[in-house]
Amino acid sequence: MSIKTNKSVWRLLAFVAPAFALYAISLLIPTIGGMYYSFTDWNGLKRTYGFIGFANFVDALTDDPDFVRSLWFTMKYVLYMVVLQNVIALLLAAFIETRRKSKAFFRTLFFMPNMISTIISAFIWTFVFTQVLPQLAERTMLTFLDQSWIGDPRVSFYSILIVSLWNGVGYMMIIYLAAMQGVPKSLQEAATIDGAGPFQTFVRVTLPMIAHALTICFFLTLNGAFKVFEAVYGLTGGGPGRSTQVITMNIYEEAFSNNFLYGYASAKSIILFVIVLIFTFLQIRVMKKREVEA
């Protein structure tokens, strides 16, 4: 018996091996390397570098106002994104579920932006924000459209949100749709017979039944929002100044454009990694408890 289990374990490992080898080479080893470099003052070129313990981490958190500011900006972005992306995706999914014939049409329509890469959609929207909307405002008297969409730091936060949502909502919507289709019709019918309206059915039956999808979607949006880069890079480049700089962009700037402080930038990446780890861990623990089986 034990020989047999051993054999099947080995067989399973053999199946995993190719993927794991790739994963290890392209992700695991660099990650460990990054962790190592975060304790050094390596500048990317020097063949000698010193081991400086936690100095990089201390510097980043206490002596780097730009990093801390970008951290708060990212937090704000994450909060808005997690809430809005999931609410909008849920609403869209619920709306599509009510359609009979046009289901496939709307599903495709709302999923379409997700097929465009984020950086491209950022460039498309740059054109919309700088050319189309001001012109539209001029011709139609809708003066509220005439904003400095990507030039004014107060407005550009919302521009970044709009583009990220436009690009990301479709994917979450598909996950919710799939989950909703797995909710047994009998439960919904029973609720209707008991006198529940459509809203009550949604909140009391559908939502608890798709809790596992909520967990996944919250995980994905939380994780993705912390690592946002392209949307901001394409729209504002972090500017004007550093007013819309997110953490990833701050790390990129530190490593590749100023003084080539690779070690310091690695330390910042590790900080980001730890933050994402803590947040997603908490989120999964809380939400896993609420899941129910049909």
Residues that bind another protein (CB under 8 A): 43-47, 129-130, 134, 148-153, 237, 239-243, 253, 257-259, 261
Rounded to the nearest whole angstrom, what is the least distance from the CB of residue 169 to another protein in the complex? 22
Kindly write down the DSSP assignment for every residue of 14-68, as one continuous string: HHHHHHHHHHIIIIIHHHHHHHHHTTB---SS-S---B-TTHHHHHHHHS-HHHH
For residue 93, what are the CA distances in angstroms to 3, 167, 200, 222, 249? Answer: 49, 16, 17, 20, 33
Q: Whose structure tokens read 């899941």?
A: 291
Rounded to the nearest whole angstrom, what is the least distance from the CB of residue 221 to another protein in the complex? 21
Q: Which is nearer to another protein, 47 or 101 (CB)?
A: 47
- Looking at the DSSP bridge assignments, the partners of residue 51 are 40
Q: What does the chain come to in residues?
A: 294
Q: Which is nearer to another protein, 156 or 201 (CB)?
A: 156
Q: Which is nearer to another protein, 230 or 279 (CB)?
A: 230
* Cβ contact 231:245 at 8 Å: no
Q: Which is nearer to another protein, 34 or 44 (CB)?
A: 44
Rounded to the nearest whole angstrom, what is the least distance from the CB of residue 150 to another protein in the complex? 6
Q: Which amino acid is at 78?
A: V
Rounded to the nearest whole angstrom, what is the least distance from the CB of residue 130 to another protein in the complex? 5
**Would you give the distance in Å from CA 260 to the centre of its chain?**
27
Closest to 116 in 3D by CA, of 172, 174, 173, 170 = 170
Q: Which is nearer to another protein, 34 or 239 (CB)?
A: 239
Rounded to the nearest whole angstrom, what is the least distance from the CB of residue 274 to another protein in the complex? 25
Q: Which is nearer to another protein, 39 or 218 (CB)?
A: 39
